[in-house]
A and B are shown apart, each in its own frame.
Chain A
Amino acid sequence: MKKLFLILAGLTALFLAYATYLALKVAPTDALQGDVYRIIYYHVPSAWTAFLLFFINFIASVQYLARTKASLQKAVQWVVIAIGVIGVIATFLPQVQALLPTGMRPSAVATTVLAIPAFYFLLGWKFPGDRMDMLALTAAEVGVVFCTIVLVTGPIWARPVWGIWWAPGDIRLTSTLVLWLIYVSYLVLRRFSNSAQTQIIAAALAVFGALDVPLVYFSIWFFRTQHPQPVIGGGGSMDPRMLHTLLISWMAFLCFAFLVCWSRFRLELLKREAEQAEAMESLVGAGTAAKASVPLSRSAR
C-alpha cells in the first residue's frame, strides 16, 4: 500500500509539474489581462476541487444520518433514486430548460443531477459503518484547504485586474467566504466537541452547509457581480489551448486532492485505532483494579 502511494505521489508530482508548465509556457497570454490571468489555472481548479469535496462531504453526511435508522435509510435511498430519475427527465423538458440561465447546457445539469445517486450508492458501498463519517471529515478538511486557496488567490488576481483586493457585498465573493466559514465551523465542532452526538450534529451542519455550494456556483449566473461571468458552459468563449490547460490543471489537482484525502483518511483510521486501544487499556486497568479491590473488600467484611 505504501509503495503504491509513493508511486502515485511521484506520478502526481510529475502531472502537477506538467500542468504548471502548460499554465506558464504553453497557454497563450490573455489580450486584456496579460500574464496575471494565468492565476486561473490554480484558482479555478482549486474551486472546482473544493466544490467536489464539499459535495462528497454532503453525500457522506446524508448517508451517515440515514444509517442511524433502517427505515430512514430505505426512505433516503428512494428519495435519492427519485432525484436522479426526475432530475434527468426534467432537464430535458422545454419548460424547465426555459428556466435555465443562458448558456447552461441541459446535459450538464442532467450529469450533475445523476452524480447525486451515483455518488450516494458508490460511497455507501465503499465506506461501510463509521468509515462514512471519517470520509465526511476528510472531505471537509481537504475541501477547506482548497477553498482557502480560492480565497487567497482570488484577491491576488483581483488587485491588478479590478484595482481592489475584495469587492464588499459581491455575492460570489461573500458566498464563498460564508462557505469557507461554514466548513471551518464544521471542523471546529469536530475538533473541540466531546459530546457523543458530535458526529450527528456535524453531519446535520454539513447537510445545511452544502446548500451554500449551489449558491456560490450559480451566483454569477443569476446575479450581477464583480466576478467574471462563467467562460465554460456559460456561453463565453475560451481559446482551446487555454481550456485544455485548465482541464489538465484540474485533473492534476484532483489527483493531488485524492492523495491528500487518502493520507488524511488513513490518519483518521489510525487515530480511531489509538482511541480504541486507549479505551481498552483503561477498561482493562479498571477491571484489574476492581479485581484487586475484591479481596480487600472481603477482608474488610
Chain B
Amino acid sequence: MNSFKFLVAAYVATWLIHTFYIGTLFSRYRRLRQSLKELGKRK
C-alpha cells in the first residue's frame, strides 16, 4: 500500500494548522500591544 504520502500529509497538515493558529495569536498580540502603546501616548 503506497500510503506513506498520506502519513506525511497528515503530519504536515497538523503542524500547518498549529503554526497558522499560533501565527494568528502572535499577530493579535502585536496589534493589542500597539493599541495599548497608542493609548499610553494619548494619555
Residues of A in contact with B (beta carbons under 8 Å apart): 20, 33-36, 38-39, 42-43, 46, 145, 148-149, 152-153, 156-157, 159-161, 256, 260, 263-264, 267, 270-271, 273-274, 277-278, 281
Q: Do the beta carbons of B7 and A152 come within 8 Å of each other?
A: no
B1, B18, B25, B35, most chain A CB atoms within 10 A = B18
Rounded to whole angstroms, the CA-CA distance of A271 and B17 in the bound complex is 24
Residue of B nearest to A36 (CB): B3
Shortest B15–chain A CB gap in Å is 9
A260 and B10 form a contact (CB under 8 A): no
23 CB contacts below 8 A, A to B, read A34-B3, A35-B7, A36-B4, A36-B6, A38-B7, A39-B10, A145-B18, A145-B21, A148-B17, A149-B13, A149-B14, A149-B17, A149-B18, A156-B9, A156-B13, A157-B10, A260-B18, A263-B29, A267-B25, A267-B28, A270-B29, A273-B36, A274-B35
Q: Are B3 and A270 in contact (CB under 8 A)?
A: no
Question: Which of B6, B28, B33, B42 has most chain A Cβ within 10 Å?
Answer: B6
A76 to chain B, nearest CB (A): 32
Please indicate which of the listed interface residues A34, A156, A277 has the most CB atoms of chain B within 10 Å of its own CB. A156
How near does chain A come to B1, taking the closest CB pair, in angstroms?
A: 5
Q: Which residues of A contact B42 (CB under 8 A)?
A: 281
Point out the residue from B1, B9, B17, B39 that lies within 8 Å of A34, measured CB to CB: B1
Counting contact residues on chain B (CB < 8 A from A), the size range is 20 to 34
Q: Establish whether residues A267 and B32, one from each chain, have CB atoms under 8 Å apart when the complex forms.
A: yes
A281 and B38 CA atoms in complex are apart in Å by 12
Known: A33-B1, A35-B7. A153 touches B25 (CB 8 A): no
**Do A42 and B11 touch (CB < 8 A)?**
yes
What 10 pairs across the A-B complex have the smallest Cβ distances? A36-B3, A160-B3, A153-B10, A39-B10, A156-B10, A34-B1, A145-B21, A160-B6, A42-B14, A152-B13
User: Hey, which chain A residues are within 8 Å of B7, CB to CB?
Assistant: 35-36, 38-39
Residues of B bordering A, CB below 8 Å: 1, 3-4, 6-7, 9-11, 13-14, 17-18, 21-22, 25, 28-29, 32-33, 35-36, 39, 42-43
A116 CB → nearest B CB, Å:
28
Bound CA–CA A135/B14 (angstroms): 24
A142, chain B: closest CB distance, angstroms: 8
The DSSP consensus for interface residues of chain A is helix
Q: Which residues of B contact A33 (CB under 8 A)?
A: 1, 3
In the assembled complex, the Cα of A271 lies from the Cα of B35 at a distance in Å of 10
- CB of A127, distance to nearest CB on chain B (Å): 20
Contact status of A274 and B3, CB under 8 A, knowing A42-B10, A264-B25: no
CA distance A35 to B39 in the complex (A): 55
Contact A153 B39 (CB under 8 A): no
Q: Which residue of B lies closest to A263 (CB)?
A: B25
Given the complex, which residues of B lie within 8 Å of A149, measured CB to CB?
A: 13-14, 17-18
Question: Which residues does chain B contribute within 8 Å of A281, judged by CB atoms?
Answer: 39, 42-43
Q: Which residue of B lies closest to A152 (CB)?
A: B13
- Contact A160-B10, Cβ < 8 Å, known A145-B18, A278-B39: no
Given the known A-B contacts A270-B29, A273-B36, A278-B39, are A152 and B17 also in contact in the complex, defined by CB atoms under 8 Å? Answer: yes
